[in-house]
Chain A
Amino acid sequence: MHNRHMSRYFFVFVFPTLLAFLLSFVIPFILGIVLSFTDFTSIIDAKWVGISNYIEAFSNKDFLNALRFTVKIAIVTVITVNFFAMCLALLLTRKIRGTNVFRAIFFMPNLIGGIVLGYIWQLIINGVLYKFGVTLTYKPEYGFWGLVILMNWQMIGYMMVIYIAAIQSIPNTLIEAAKIDGASPFQILTRIKLPIIMPSITICLFLTMANSFKNFDSNLALTAGAPSRKTAMLALDIYNTFYNTLNGEGVGQAKAVVFFIIVAVIAFLQLKLTRRKEVDNV
């Protein structure tokens, strides 16, 4: 009764969101997949070319380089961000004065947009490198580590906040009991704290990885891919293929589909892992 009476209101409650969702997500998404198999410069002049865009994408030096570069950035960033975030979270859950202020400071860079972050770090890193007579875009390695530092600064506070919430939810009695049984602080960390907050660690690892993979703004602002597109991550390479390459649209869209599949696989793995952990806990 409740259900049937309500169903008539579908139009009022769902239609506005659904219409916008169709226009700016569903249709562009499906069209994007279709267009990746065509040659086009505007949507109406598309000509079917099969998988040749994909072949071209995977034989494209810039794309392969961006793929390698992005994977390397993601691996280093996932490890460093989560290591430092966990250290800070462990420090800030001890009873020290001013914890809230420290927490607020470490979190703050996360609110600043990627473009602004990029130019802040461009200034700092170029300032340091100036002493050695080079700039950030002199060698790809500089851009690599620049991005790693930038992303650490951006994400450590975010992950730290999630870890703090997880650590604070550990029942105190558990830790007291372990202390009475003579457990060392290190044992308490590795045998009690870390296993209990494992679900949060999984979430943070995947969040960091997804954020690293999808990074565009700070990449554009920090190096814009220089020198010679060597420091372009996947998102920036796709952008360059679309808008800075002659007739690049088809290949750009194929690259975008590959990019989507990579991100989707990461998300799917996360879902499977977190689901399993939940079952284990029950």
Chain B
Amino acid sequence: MKDNKGNALLFILLFILSVLYLIPILIVFINSFKGRLYISDQPFALPNAETFYGLKNYTIGLAKTGFFKAAFWSFFITVLSVGVIVICTSMTGWFITRVRNRVNNFLYYAFVFSMIVPFQMVMYTMTKIANMLNLDNPVGIAVIYLGFGAGQSVFLFSGFVKSIPVELEEAAMIDGCNPVKTFFWVVFPVLKPIAITVAILNAMWIWNDYLLPYLVIGAEYKTIPIAIQYLKTGYGGIDMGAMMAMLVLAIIPIIVFYLACQRYIIEGVIAGAVKG
């Protein structure tokens, strides 16, 4: 009885906290319907007859940033890069775990080492190399993401492969499957849980990444974060109304993605953190 009362109080406390937690997003949403001049002054006021701006912020913002194009490139780059990363690093992770020799051991440690290197360390040189090799386009950038994301992904796949029995693969090979067939028909289906984790971790990183795409392809192709930052640095000073509208549009796909695969996202993040 007493416990129930305590839990009811806790429930109310948590409810208030979670509402407070969501308020920043709600305020951005409300302000996206207010005129640009009324946002900095009174961000916490609801729109009224004078300040209500309808969808004008949205139309202005869309025109200024080319948001839909940016959303397309964000989507294109994320899907392509994540696909390439999952296929290539799962193959590599499996191979260097199963075939133990000095080269593969060395590679494993090189991949693990790359996980701790911050982006700024290779920012300049990598951008130059990408430029020299004509990788500075939405397809080529997938190669960059594969190289820079390989560390964690190979590490996660490799750790998972260690925990699965080798007998199944050996049976397949004895039955005459070559390693490529064995990998795709026998091994990869078993790797599915960790492949989902790797896909989600990389998708979150690449979708939200700003600096790498800005430096490599930003001059020609804008992704969503680049388009939003461009609102501030672009011509004519910052239009807070358009900014609010674009923030709302940037958050919507993330919330949809989150609602659709919340369980996988949270599990993936735990797996990535605890093992990585």
Identify the A interface with B (CB < 8 A). Answer: 2-3, 5-7, 9-10, 12-14, 16-18, 20-29, 31-32, 35, 42-43, 88, 91-92, 94-98, 101-116, 119-121, 123-124, 126-127, 130, 153, 158, 161-162, 165, 200, 203-204, 207, 213-214, 216-217, 220-221, 234-235, 238-239, 242, 249, 252-253, 256-257, 259-260, 263-264, 267
Q: Mark B80-110, 1 if CB is under 8 A from A, else 0.
A: 0000000011011011101111011001001
Q: Mark B133-149, 1 if CB is under 8 A from A, else 0.
A: 10100000001101110
* Residues B208 and A113 in contact, CB atoms below 8 Å apart: yes
Interface of chain B, helix or strand or loop or mixed? helix
Q: Which residues of A contact B135 (CB under 8 A)?
A: 23
* Residues B21 and A106 in contact, CB atoms below 8 Å apart: yes
* Residues B28 and A256 in contact, CB atoms below 8 Å apart: no
Q: How far is the CA of A32 from the CA of B254 in the complex (A)?
A: 35
With A17-B150, A21-B114, A28-B125 as contacts: A123 and B11 at CB distance below 8 Å: no
* Beyond known contacts A6-B98, A27-B125, A108-B258: 9 more, CB 8 A cutoff: A9-B178, A13-B91, A16-B91, A32-B121, A114-B208, A115-B210, A120-B247, A127-B40, A267-B115
Q: Is B186 an interface residue (CB 8 A)?
A: no
Name A256's contact: one of B121, B130, B208 (CB within 8 Å): B121
Interface of chain A, helix or strand or loop or mixed? helix
Identify the B interface with A (CB < 8 A). Answer: 7, 10-11, 13-15, 17-18, 21-22, 24-25, 27-28, 31, 39-44, 88-89, 91-92, 94-96, 98-101, 103-104, 107, 110-111, 114-126, 128-130, 133, 135, 143-144, 146-148, 150-151, 154, 170, 173, 178-180, 183, 204, 207-211, 224-225, 228-229, 232, 240, 243-244, 247, 250-251, 254-255, 257-258, 262, 265-266, 269-270, 273-274
* Residues A235 and B120 in contact, CB atoms below 8 Å apart: yes
Q: List 14 A-B contacts (CB under 8 A).
A: A12-B180, A13-B91, A21-B150, A25-B117, A31-B125, A35-B125, A92-B14, A108-B22, A120-B24, A127-B40, A203-B273, A220-B229, A264-B116, A264-B117
